[in-house]
């Protein structure tokens, strides 16, 4: 079990390396630099699990091993929830630790179930067994991303925003990429297992032939991706300024401290800006409009709404009232428009933005401000400005690529630039910042769109359509990032099929593989 716990933790570390080792160029990036994804570690750590499942004496023991691996992986992935609950929520440290472990253990149950099924049918031929593991593992990932509103943070596919599998997201998204990684991991484990059991019967020719075929397929996909990246939107691009206020989370909603600092600093930066587009993060303005000083909004809007102006802005601000309910909103200001653009957050965070039934006591215990929000519609319109179509998403929403795909119904209306406005100051100076950055990079790969990220504490960056971070601010600094962004047009295969069908095709494919294997296993037993 200790080895599985280490392998599970390694799975977490592969998503964003939590130590500052191997900083540099070339092969040193394979060793890891702080916040870097390590694609090879994700595959190897998962291969350890597959090997353990194959050696398990019973399906029940396999389920226990899968649960231990997954619990360690998930706890090591989102351990920073402890910070939000203990440091900022005031929950006693033992209770906060217990809450993180309980969540990881609960979500680990999905992987325990699929580990049980894998053991039951793993004695099918190796080629099919590897596909079965990949299918079952993907079904667990899909279930985690969908059930109970979904919590897909830390999905294995996010380790592959860099590396050889980064060619895949434009075709099959993060879950499809995770499927391929799981298949490779299973193949490695099966080959190792076969070599140990039958050292003289390992035939290399089929293995080498398979590798050659994979290289050819990979090369074709890479060429197709490279070709697609040569077509810019035909616009000169935008000059942008991304604002990072670095308001301490324990002061952000305090009227006598953080609120005053935020209102003054953001007002000054907005008023002084010279860029074509200015973006301030989620709840940069931390008060409802009716709570703001008189004429405050008129002052900060003035440079952007005046007729004939050359600047626009996207600003995070809560809207609403007690009677109608509240929304976590991005308001857009464009020259000559009498009504501001409005995007309301659709995918809300459990406990933080909506309260599940029977859990009001928990949010009251943690003193979460504005803990109940109304949902915005799925697939809200983009904001058009300077030849670009800007599509905001707020914080947690960029975990759900299948929901962002709702904006890609037509090439003529699809966003040319994605804009994430976040405040993850709840999680302190932790690897959560880098994990979230890599999530945004995955969305850039899936849709081949640049992503602007304006955050309270980091990572405030410009990501290009190849998922490269081309400009960035250091976290936990109060600063402004000035850069340019070039929008992109066209539709990736992933955007087309997920918009039309959601994740149903991938789910059905996985179920079909499992069904074929189950029938094959029954025939072998019969």
Residues labelled catalytic: 282, 345, 395
What is the C-alpha to C-alpha distance for residues 398 and 152, in angstroms, rounded to an integer?
11
Helix (H) or strand (E) holding 418: strand 417-422
Gap between the terminal Cα atoms of the chain:
34
Q: Which of 160, 49, 181 is nearest to 114 (CA)?
A: 49
A 10 A CB-CB count for 459 gives 24
Return the ∠ at Cα 396 (arms to 259 and 488), rounded to 5°.
105
| Strand 469-472 with 451-455, pairing | unpaired
| Strand 277-280 with 238-244, pairing | parallel
Are 132 and 514 within 8 A, CB to CB? yes
Range 97-107 burial, b when 16+ CB lie within 10 A, else e: bebbbebbbeb
- The DSSP call for residue 474 is P
What is the C-alpha to C-alpha distance for residues 291 and 326, in angstroms, rounded to an integer?
13
What is the C-alpha to C-alpha distance for residues 13 and 11, in angstroms, rounded to an integer?
6
Question: Is residue 316 packed enough to be buried (19+ CB in 10 Å), middle (13-18) or exposed (0-12)?
Answer: buried
A 10 A CB-CB count for 126 gives 17
Q: Which two tokens stand for residue 135?
A: 């299918």
CA 387 to chain centre: 28
Are 426 and 249 within 8 A, CB to CB? yes
What is the C-alpha to C-alpha distance for residues 147 and 139, in angstroms, rounded to an integer?
12
Range 227-260 burial, b when 16+ CB lie within 10 A, else e: ebeeeebeeebbbbbbbbbbbebeebbeeeebbe
Return the bridge partners of 384, or none: 389
A 10 A CB-CB count for 116 gives 21
């Amino acid at each position: 079990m200790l080895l599985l716990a280490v392998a599970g933790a390694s799975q977490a570390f592969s998503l964003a390396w939590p130590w500052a080792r191997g900083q540099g160029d070339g092969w040193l990036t394979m060793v890891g630099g702080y916040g870097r994804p390590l694609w090879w570690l994700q595959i190897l750590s998962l291969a350890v699990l597959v090997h353990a499942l194959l050696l398990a004496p019973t399906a029940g023991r396999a389920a226990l091993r899968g649960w231990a691996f997954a619990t360690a992986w998930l706890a090591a992935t989102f351990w920073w929830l402890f910070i939000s609950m203990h440091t900022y929520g005031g929950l006693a440290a033992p209770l906060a630790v217990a809450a993180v472990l309980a969540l990881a253990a609960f979500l680990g149950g999905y992987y325990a179930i699929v580990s049980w099924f894998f053991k039951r049918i793993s004695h099918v031929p190796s080629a099919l067994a590897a596909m079965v593991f990949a299918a079952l593992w993907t079904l667990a990932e899909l279930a985690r991303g969908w059930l109970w509103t979904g919590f897909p943070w830390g999905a294995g596919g996010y380790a592959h925003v860099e590396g050889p599998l980064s060619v895949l997201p434009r075709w099959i998204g993060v879950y499809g990429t995770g499927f391929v990684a799981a298949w490779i991991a299973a193949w490695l484990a099966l080959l190792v297992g076969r070599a140990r059991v039958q050292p003289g019967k390992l035939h290399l020719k089929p293995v080498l032939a398979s590798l050659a075929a994979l290289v050819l397929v990979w090369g074709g996909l890479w060429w197709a991706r490279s070709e697609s990246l040569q077509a810019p939107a035909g616009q000169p691009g935008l000059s942008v300024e991304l604002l990072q206020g670095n308001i301490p989370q324990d002061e952000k909603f305090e009227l006598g401290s953080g609120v005053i600092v935020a209102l003054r600093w953001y007002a000054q930066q907005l008023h002084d800006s010279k860029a074509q587009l200015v973006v301030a993060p989620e709840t940069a303005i931390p008060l409802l409009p009716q709570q703001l000083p008189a004429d405050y909004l008129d002052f900060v809007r003035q440079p952007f709404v005046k007729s004939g102006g050359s600047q626009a802005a996207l600003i995070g601000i809560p809207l609403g009232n007690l009677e109608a309910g509240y929304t976590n909103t991005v308001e857009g200001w464009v020259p000559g428009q009498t009504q501001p653009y409005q995007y309301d957050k659709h995918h809300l965070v459990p406990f933080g933005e909506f309260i599940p039934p029977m859990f009001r006591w928990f949010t009251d215990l943690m003193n979460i401000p504005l803990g109940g929000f109304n949902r915005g519609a799925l697939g809200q319109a983009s904001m058009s400005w300077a030849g670009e179509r800007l599509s905001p998403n707020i914080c947690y929403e960029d975990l759900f690529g299948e929901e962002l795909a709702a904006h890609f119904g037509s090439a003529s209306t699809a966003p040319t630039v994605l804009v994430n406005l976040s405040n993850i100051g709840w999680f302190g100076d932790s690897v959560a910042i880098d994990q979230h950055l890599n999530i945004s990079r995955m969305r850039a790969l899936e849709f081949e769109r640049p992503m602007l990220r304006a955050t309270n504490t980091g990572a405030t960056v410009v990501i290009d359509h190849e998922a490269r971070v081309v400009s960035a601010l250091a976290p936990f600094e109060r600063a402004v990032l000035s850069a340019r962004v070039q929008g992109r047009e066209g539709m990736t295969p992933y955007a087309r099929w997920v918009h039309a069908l959601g994740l149903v095709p991938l789910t059905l494919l996985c179920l079909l593989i499992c069904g074929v294997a189950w029938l094959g296993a029954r025939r072998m037993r019969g």
